[in-house]
Structure 1
Amino acid sequence: MRTEPNPTRLDRVFARLDREPERPAHVSVPGMSRHRVVLFSATLGFYAAIVVAVLTTSWLVRLDWQVMFFRPYQQWPELHAYLDYYVVLGQRGPTAVMVAAWLGWRSWRQRTLRPMLTLGMSLLLLNVTVGAAKLGMGRLGPHYATVIGSNEMWLGGDIFPSGHTANAVVTWGILAYLAATPRARRYLSALSAVVSLGVGLTTVYLGTHWLSDVLLGWAAGLLILLALPWFEPLVARAERWLFGLRDTWRRRRAAAGAPASTAPVATPDPADGPPPVRIPGPAQEPATPETVGAPHTGRAQPRPAPGGHTPRPDRAPGTPVGGRRGTHHQERPGHGTPPAAVPAGGPPGGTRP
């Protein structure tokens, strides 16, 4: 009997995914157009200008100190409780979970892994670029500043550029990047710009970042979004590899669950008797069970006649005199041999049995 393997939860997920509609044909992959190249170059120049302005302790550093001494959280204390929650929209963990849930549902509906892989690629680029800049320049924040008017660079800090701001630009901007229609892309671009702008200004209000940190964070996040089309071929190769791995796993599961043979096994009928014994050889002739000890001649032995058995000889030829059976034992007559006559006078010795 053939038994089907019990489907696992992953099998049910793939089966449900196979019943969804195919990937929409109108979903286009953004390319690195000339307009995007110009924007990327301008943003890169803005990024470099911010870094140079801070390193040279220019007017931007003086503006940072002025905003810090203004202390916005003391000017508008009623906003503090609300902005403490709003700034969470720039934290990497909560925002990544929320955006991944939405993009995961889109991947399910469209039968493609591109949204999830693009999100993973953007977060990887964000960690590498922004993290390297933070550790490389080591700027201290407003709460830990040591010298008034200095740029606080290379003192072991990690706030330049602002990670909250860059994360808000990338995480919410990826929704606009992956939008299916131009109209949705425009609306989501405006929404992500407002959210990231608000997160950056909230960090300045709370006093955790300089204003120049926020400006550099906006530029760092926008550079990642503009550079994503260069990584689309890598995302496509990763998607093909993952789907190929899934198909290989499915084939192995199907091969492991299939029975070894599906041919029916014949059940012997008790009325037919025992199966015949076949002797290997060129001519397959039926043979009957042989007598134990009889020489094998290659053909069937004749059956004994009914009504008695052939008496066994007293001793096999060539049996030595001092054999296992003593000479004082009288040989028992064979079955069917008439008993010997007893003399009228009784057995020898005059004693009657």
Structure 2
Amino acid sequence: MVIAQAAVVERPHGPFVVEEVELEEPREDEVLVRIVSAGICHTDLIVRDQWYPVPLPAVLGHEGAGVVERVGARVRKVAPGDHVVLTFRSCGECHHCLRGKPAYCVQLFPLNFGGRRPDGTSPIRWRGQPITGMFFAQSSFATYAVAHERNVVKVPKDVPLELLGPLGCGVQTGAGAVFNSLRPPAGSSIAIFGTGSVGLSALLAARAVGCTTIIGVDINPGRLEVARELGATHVIDARTSDPVEEIRRITGYGVQYSIETTANPKVFRQAVDCLDQLGVCGLIGAAPLGAEVALDMGTMLFGRMVRGIIEGDSVPELFIPEMIALYQQGKFPFDRLITFYPFAAIQQAAEDSEAGRVVKPVLRFD
């Protein structure tokens, strides 16, 4: 048994409260990781608020980075002492996983949002009772996490480990939407709706691949300024301007690509309406279950497409090291999105994120 400090959410919309919990030792296909840092993602906050029915009480957190402490008897990917990033889990056996598309695993939802192992057990006990302790197969808002071998990615030791947690979800989602899903060619145009951590990661990727018109759209002036600093050629404040009209004015016809990160149906419609003919909109924003949007069928008829994107279409064991290599070469400065907080300040970090005062809060553990 491992004694850990963990941020527990006891009720919907409740605070993150750091408490002592007990962790089981890793099973034969699991890994015990000492957490060094963990990013706070929008998904953690909407699960806290029960947009998705993850059982509470829960230890959330799904952008963990740390050092392997112990491994199960069947684990071969990593060994004690390795630096790792924790990411989403997939089954590895379904037809999508076997085709190299683990983000579309048929078991994605139960494996990541079920709060338990497939056999119904949890590795975390709080106040003597099992609670949700396998969120994204890691629950990394804790000093230690038990993860499955499949969602542990070994990373180089010559990169600061405290930076790397967001690569496990938010950064890989935004960057992967560009690098892996839309694949805009050099010289192309793209509009990014929502300049939070996911949208700005997409912006960094768009710059890296050579997009020459990069338009950031938001209602937060501070984030729009960050977008401009990171390479946006144009920014649009949607409070004062119609984004569709402005994008058409800038481009003369519409953009070739757009990305929607806000999960707002009105914004999603704008992200489609601003496309040029044959343009593609990548939908990333995670809306409440059952959310719907209306699209103009005449608009869609002219070759426009909408593409849903999960986790940036990434194969994490390949894509996370690729992002790190780009960062080391100075081509993907995702570290500029990060604001650090001590683990004990997790509630403040969450509030700052929701208020738009920071882009990507990352918790550091002693």
Structure number having the greater helix percentage: 1
Fold shared per TM-score above 0.5: no
Please tell me whether Structure 1 or Structure 2 has the larger radius of gyration of its CA atoms. 1
Structure number having the greater strand percentage: 2
TM-score range, shorter chain: under 0.3
